């Protein structure tokens, strides 16, 4: 009897190993065949794993990403160059605990050639080695951590979105030049992105001669009442507030900022996610006058964006967000790369992505890859009401910005 459990466990291990190998085989076979297909000049195909959150707090972002992706494909015959695109969608969930296995799943059991998506930066950093080992391309369509294309850079990981500090440092420079040098209060949730946003802002603001008079980091996802922090802002003597929140926290913060009377005396500035997408209608009048920096707003006046907004709204019944554009551009750059590429392995696509040059037909305006992440225009935006609807109108073009070192 005593031997039985050991025996069973060992047998289980053997079985699990066999099952794992079996799961791997079709994957290997699939990518082998698609590479061969590309080379032989027959029906060329590329399989893409779109890994975006379909559950959890980021599900809203996942929906926008998926729509942007599908809209590009629908408008371009479902092809990148001559390659017919097959998309496999997987649920990233909220954390790396769900996101990393989702990426491994599309790589191994679905045998995809390219992975697109990832909202959570920790997930994007967590799959770095898996991506490098499989020599497949990952296009990060949201996650904004600087390290993804900085310290932890891999030749196989490219980004079509933004870096956290890229957006906030543009605001830092702007506020230092706008008469707020004497004092700005900075507030962002206590996690990696919040820290990067504040660091980027502070560095650029202080470089412009500004002084940060106070800083707060409310616990992420556990703070529902910002009154204590708002009192801190009031007593700090700040002339303006710089903030970064998203989702439910953005709604609560902006509404309470107005309720406690701060909006009248201390103007609110922020990283664009504060007022982007679905949070804006919920913030209602409290958001009026809030100014933010971002690489996109649906109000941009260029032909590519006008067409994008029109087709997007017609198909989905709401305006696009920056997230939709990021996924749209991920498809856009893959198309450009595969027009010239002769195979769909990671090294070939990576080399081709390096040569795509300026992406001049993006709804966000022209941008280029610089160190595998966008160098792009950052816009200063103000929330106004036009035609009964709140929008982020463009105040100023703050020029092309790189990922800060």
Task: Enumerate binding residues for other proteins (CB under 8 A).
Answer: 57, 59-60, 190, 216, 218-219, 221-225, 227-229, 231-232, 234-235, 247-248, 251-252, 255, 259-262, 278-279, 281-284
The angle, 0 to 180 degrees and rounded to 10, between the axes of the packed helices 164-176 and 192-207 is 30
Closer residue to other proteins (CB): 278 or 402: 278
Residue 208 vs 247, nearer CB to other proteins: 247
Angle between helices 59-75 and 303-316 (to 10 degrees): 110
| 3-state SS assignment for residue 216 | strand
Please say which residue, 26 or 261, places its beta carbon nearer to other proteins: 261
CB of 113 to other proteins, least distance (A): 31
Q: Which is nearer to other proteins, 120 or 401 (CB)?
A: 120
Q: Half-sphere exposure of 302 toward its Cβ, with a 13 Å CA cutoff?
A: 14
Judged by phi (left if over 0) then psi (alpha if -120 to 50, else beta), residue 9 lies in: alpha
Q: Are 170 and 293 in contact (CB under 8 A)?
A: yes
Per the CB < 8 A criterion, the answer to whether 114 and 108 are in contact is: no
Report DSSP state, residue 144: -
Query: How near is the Cβ of 47 to other proteins at its closest, in Å?
Result: 29
Q: Which CB sits closer to other proteins, 75 or 232?
A: 232
The answer to whether 385 touches 396, Cβ cutoff 8 Å, is: no
Cβ atoms of 325 and 68 closer than 8 Å: yes
Q: How far is the CB of 222 from other proteins (least distance, A)?
A: 6
**In sequence order, which residues have a C-beta less than 8 Å from that of residue 325 and are 6 or more positions away?**
68, 296, 308, 362, 363, 364
Least distance between other proteins and beta carbon 263 (Å): 10
β strands within 26-156, DSSP E: 45-52, 79-80, 83-91, 114-117, 137-140
Closest CA to 330 of 79, 138, 133: 138
The CB-of-255 to other proteins minimum distance in angstroms stands at 6
The distance of closest approach from Cβ of residue 20 to other proteins in the complex, given in angstroms and rounded to an integer, is 30
CB of 69 to other proteins, least distance (A): 19
């Amino acid at each position: 009897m005593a031997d039985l459990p050991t025996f069973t466990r060992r047998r289980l291990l053997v079985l699990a190993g066999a099952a794992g190998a079996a799961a791997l085989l079709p994957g290997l076979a699939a990518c082998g065949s698609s590479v061969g297909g590309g080379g032989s000049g027959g029906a060329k195909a590329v399989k893409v794993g779109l890994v975006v959150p379909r559950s959890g707090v980021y599900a809203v972002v996942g929906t926008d990403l998926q729509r942007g992706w599908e809209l590009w494909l629908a408008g371009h015959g479902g092809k990148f160059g001559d390659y017919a695109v097959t998309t496999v969608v997987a649920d990233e969930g909220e954390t790396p605990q769900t996101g990393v296995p989702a990426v491994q799943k599309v790589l191994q059991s679905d045998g995809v050639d390219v992975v697109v998506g990832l909202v959570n930066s920790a997930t994007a950093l967590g799959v770095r080695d898996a991506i490098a080992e499989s020599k497949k391309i990952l296009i990060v369509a949201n996650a904004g951590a600087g390290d993804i294309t900085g310290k932890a850079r891999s030749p196989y990981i490219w980004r079509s979105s933004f870096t956290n500090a890229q957006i906030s440092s543009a605001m830092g420079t702007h506020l230092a030049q706008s008469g707020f040098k004497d004092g700005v209060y900075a507030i962002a949730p206590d996690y990696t992105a919040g820290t990067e946003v504040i660091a980027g802002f502070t560095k650029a603001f202080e470089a412009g001669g500004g002084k940060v008079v106070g800083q707060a980091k409310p616990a992420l996802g556990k703070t529902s009442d910002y009154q204590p922090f708002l009192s801190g802002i009031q007593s700090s003597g700040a002339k303006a507030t710089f903030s970064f929140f998203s989702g439910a926290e953005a709604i609560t913060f902006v509404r309470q900022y107005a309720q406690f009377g701060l909006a009248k005396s201390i103007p609110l500035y922020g990283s664009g996610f504060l007022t982007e997408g679905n949070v804006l209608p919920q913030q209602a009048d409290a958001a009026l006058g809030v100014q933010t920096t971002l690489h996109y707003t649906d109000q941009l006046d260029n032909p590519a964006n006008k067409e994008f907004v029109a087709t997007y709204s017609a198909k989905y019944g709401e305006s696009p967000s920056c997230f939709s554009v990021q996924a749209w551009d991920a498809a856009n750059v893959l198309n450009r790369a595969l027009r010239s590429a002769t195979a769909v392995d990671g090294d070939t696509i990576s080399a081709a992505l390096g040569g795509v040059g300026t992406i001049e037909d993006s709804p966000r305006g022209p941008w280029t890859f610089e160190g595998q992440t966008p160098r792009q225009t950052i816009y200063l935006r103000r929330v106004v009401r036009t035609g009964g609807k709140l929008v982020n109108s463009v105040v100023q073009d703050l020029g092309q910005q790189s990922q800060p070192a």
